[in-house]
Amino acid sequence: MAELIRRIRRIKVLDSERCVGCESCMFACTRREGKASLESPRIHIRSIGGMERGFTVIICRACVDPSCMYVCPVSALKKRKVGGVKLDREKCIGCGSCVDACPMSAITMDEEEGKPLMCLYCGFCVDYCPHKVIGKEEVKNGSLPK
């Protein structure tokens, strides 16, 4: 019997210089959850000085050793095999420690729910980026790429 190959995704910034700040990825992220706004995306596009200077993509980079996980007082964040974390919303007390600990500033708080918003690694944003700024990285059997 052939070995079952489990593919796990990570989102990767391919070329931030291509970003024009259209925010299509942000809209796609919120649409995935049935919303049509820019109020609670899990990916963010920020200007680094207007059109002349360009934009930066703020998204979880799936840290291999995630600091956000270590600061959680209730262990609501679990490490993924390929880096990054998964949130146990039931355990989370909404303290915001993970927000402060993220070196990428990729975690924000959902003001309505009082819980952190972090990438789900679904890749939905990638499909809506017209300039191929971000991409999906498939990792086999939980092993990191070399």
CATH number for region 16-136:
3.30.70.20
Q: What is the pLDDT of residue 36?
A: 80
Cα Dmax for the chain: 56
* Grouped pLDDT means (10 residues each) for the chain, 146 residues: 51 93 95 87 90 88 94 96 92 97 95 93 93 87 51
Number of H helices, E strands in the chain: 5, 8
Q: Find out whether 118 and 66 touch, Cβ atoms under 8 Å.
A: no
What integer pLDDT is reported at residue 39 of this predicted model?
A: 85
- H or E stretch covering 77: strand 77-79
Structure tokens at 10: 């990570």
Length of the chain: 146
What's the pTM?
0.83
Residue 49 CA: distances (Å) to CA of 14, 46, 52, 101, 108: 20, 9, 7, 25, 22
- If residue 70 lies in a helix (H) or strand (E), which one and from where to where? helix 67-71
**pLDDT at res. 27:** 95
What are the sequence ranges of the domains in the chain? 16-136
